Chain A
């Protein structure tokens, strides 16, 4: 028994420290990319005049890392002179009148209610579900060749009271 233990000890000492995944990063990059898109939208769309001292981004549904990235962004960036406020909601009825409402896939059924509720109120509706750009969302994230891109529905944006910049239109994968 003693000999076996010594043999095991020698084998252990006589090997290099094999590296197994200690450097593996588990960051959610799609969420960071979407946050950067949202910041670009916030800078590039034109909103109706408002007296709000904050630029409000509402998240409807669950995506903790997206919420974290947007919160991080809000701590360092501003839209013009306005601070960014990010808040998560579970129901469309709780959302008051944000500049941006991002409806996550688990709450995609709330899109039609959101379209009705925020019609002409200067809220940019963002989704990430196939067909949503045709169902009232102004921006819908899609995947093309493993990259995140977006579709733009100018009509929906117009109905919401928003003016679309030419840059956004140019960069959209598809414009409705």
Chain B
């Protein structure tokens, strides 16, 4: 991909070098010469200087070169920096170039450069998807989404967003399971709800929401001391039952959407078991056994 991008860029530069308009924009020409010579700091200086020239500033090719210079700066010096300003400027410049390139002369090349930078945002979103860096991860993910949806008409924003929010909710759920942190629990729910808002028929989102409530119920009883008095025992049991009941509609929806999913069948069996509904629990136990016989 890098090789193709560079070929496209230098093909562009070749055309650019003979473009008479740029006789007027000497600084852009100098920026171009510096890029060609690999002198990125000088190239940056000249391209920024050329931005004072209104003629240069209104031409897509200036922005294209600027985008390329900053992309190279990002690649060579800031590729490990998830908040890289060079990458941000590169994206802004390529977007501006795309906007100004009315005749779509360099559309393919600009789009490929944007996709490249978008993919880097995606990788950073994935790399930082944890409880500490999640705001940075969210920023990276939003940048990725914004880039891709603007350049790829086939891009499935919804499914990517659901995947992302489910992953994010998972990290918070892990923390909640370990520490019982109410903040982590809230975040887990928030991101699961976000996934369900995008697609209420997401099997995974429904299943994970059910598991969250289910585990909350289990945790109440697990933490309970054996010598809790009877009033407290009733109270805790009712709290847990309420959570198992909260889990039930989500798991049922997941089951209706994917009745042959083993983990969902286990989930249905488990929820009804904890709800002391032996009849329904056994019904799903039998379905699981039947499924096992088939396979």
Q: Which residues of A contact B (CB under 8 A)?
A: 14-21, 23-30, 32-33, 35-37, 39-40, 43, 73, 76-77, 143, 145-149, 167-168, 171
Contacts and interface: CB of A to CB of B under 8 A. Distances in A.
Contacts of B218: 25, 27, 29
Chain B, interface size category, equals 35 or more
Contact of B273 (A16, A23, A30, A171): A30
Interface of B: 119, 122, 126, 129, 163-164, 166-167, 169-170, 173-174, 177, 204, 207-208, 211, 214-215, 217-219, 221-222, 224-231, 233-234, 237-238, 240-241, 244-245, 263, 266-267, 270, 273-277
Contact of B226 (A25, A73, A148, A171): A73
A140 to B, nearest CB: 14
A149 B208 CA distance: 30
Contacts of A18: 163, 166-167, 204
A167 B230 CA distance: 8
A104 B114 CA distance: 67
Contacts, number: 109
B237 A148 contact: yes
B167 A171 contact: no
A16 B233 contact: no
Contacts of B167: 16-19
A129 to B, nearest CB: 12
A67 to B, nearest CB: 14
Contacts of B166: 16, 18-19
A97 B234 CA distance: 30
B136 to A, nearest CB: 16
B221 A29 contact: yes
A146 B163 contact: no
Which 7 residue pairs of A and B lie closest in terms of their CB atoms, listed nearest first?
A19-B170, A16-B167, A29-B221, A146-B275, A171-B230, A143-B276, A16-B163
Contact of B215 (A24, A43, A73): A24
B221 A33 contact: yes
Nearest to B164: A16
B164 A171 contact: no
B129 A29 contact: no
